[in-house]
Amino acid sequence: MRFTVAEDYESASRAAAEVILAEVARKPDAVLCLPTGSTPERTYAILAERARADPQIFASVRIVQLDEWGGLPRGDDSTCQAYLTRHVLGPLKVGPERFLGFDSDPTDPAAECAKFRERLAALGGIDLCLLGLGENGHIGLNEPADALEPFAHVAELSEHSRRHKMLTGKDTRRLYGLTLGVAEILQSRRVLLIVSGKHKARPLAELKSGRISTRCPASLLWLHPQAECICDRDALVTPCRDVRSPVAEHTDPV
Ligand code: GLP
């Protein structure tokens, strides 16, 4: 796994945007799997600026949604799909025919995941999978556990995830995750993890230790031949806890 240290959030975002642009230049109809959250916001804004300057760049690109807050009403502003529409699909002008997403409120969540798995396979897999890092070490909504799921599945949300900024003000008790599995992520041709901010220092230190554990799902990225992590200096601040101890769920960030 290759680590690139950027000076700050802006430089990390610019570096990540360059990786995405290079991928699209290499393959104009590339399949990009994209996360939500605060981390990639600036990267997406940079892509939007580029799309305004040259609308052709993203004319054939295909977008896959990494994960979704299951149980939120369809179209709710806090869904990952609404986020991707605001930050990516709208600005980059990617229509529904070039987007694969999860329905946030399916009558049968397991069937929704089965459908998603088939449609992802029909796309031929992912060319570039962009990821954010959960404060508990999660990727997508693959939460720390004794065992992880390979394919798109319904996930129980950790307490960390229920407290995510995107869910502020929501009753999260009945929510669950809909997420790509770790095999689908690892089968992506290329994986790029962006990590920014002091609050990510602990999971980043755990990841950098090189210890592979399902208790830190991001650590499975060490198994990928072309995984890259772009982090900023803030995220590199040494955490005060022993970095080799597993990232425990339900604990507050150090
Ligand atoms: C949530 C999202 C993920 C995201 C992660 C990190 O779980 N569903 O897609 O990568 O949080 O979010 P943030 O970048 O806001 O820290």
Q: For ligand 1, what atom is nearest to the CA of residue 199?
A: 16
pLDDT given at position 237: 83
Summarize pLDDT for 31-55 with one digit per residue, the tens.
999 999 999 999 999 999 999 999 9
> Residues 87, 138, 153, 164: which is the catalytic one?
138
Q: For ligand 1, what atom is nearest to the CA of residue 37?
A: 15
Summarize pLDDT for 216-242 with one digit per residue, the tens.
999 999 999 999 999 999 999 865 554
Summarize pLDDT for 98-148 with one digit per residue, the tens.
999 999 999 999 999 999 999 999 999 999 999 999 999 999 999 999 999
Cα-to-centroid distance, 38 and ligand 1 (Å)? 7
127 catalytically annotated: no
Summarize pLDDT for 52-71 with one digit per residue, the tens.
999 999 999 999 999 999 99
> Residues 143, 206, 232, 234: which is the catalytic one?
143
Mean pLDDT taken over the chain: 94
76 catalytically annotated: no
Cα-to-centroid distance, 50 and ligand 1 (Å)? 24
> Residues 135, 136, 142, 228: which is the catalytic one?
136
User: Looking at the predicted structure, is the pLDDT value of residue 253 above 50?
Assistant: no
CA distance 131 to 203: 14
CA distance 250 to 239: 17
Split at pLDDT 50, 70, 90, the class of 252 is: very low
